[in-house]
Amino acid sequence: MKVGIKIMPRDVILDTQGRAVESSMKSNGFELLSCRVGKYVEVTVASENKAEAQSQVEKMLKEGGLYNPLIEKFEIQIN
């Protein structure tokens, strides 16, 4: 089962990459209010059970260091 993990910088964190994209887009004439840039990790696990796959991936995130809780937040997406 394929599990998607969206990892974004926490709201209180200054996202320099997002700011750079925002100002680049604006100077190219595109209209946007704000922009934040994060990561997206797609993990394929053997389990076909949604709850089990989710708990495996949560473990990778929290114990495996797949995200940095100090500056990032994550959201698990399973279709």
Q: Residue type at 23?
A: S
The single residue among 12, 14, 44, 70 that binds its own copies, judged by CB under 8 A, is: 44
Binding to its own copies (CB under 8 A): which residues in 3-42? 4, 6-8, 18, 21, 24-25, 28, 30-42
CB 1 within 8 A of CB 44: yes
Rule CB under 8 A: choose which of 20, 23, 49, 59 binds its own copies: 59
What is the Cα–Cα distance from 32 to 59, expressed in whole angstroms?
36
- Cα 48 to its chain centre, rounded Å, is 22
Q: Which residues lie near its own copies (CB under 8 A)?
A: 4, 6-8, 18, 21, 24-25, 28, 30-46, 56, 59-60, 64, 66
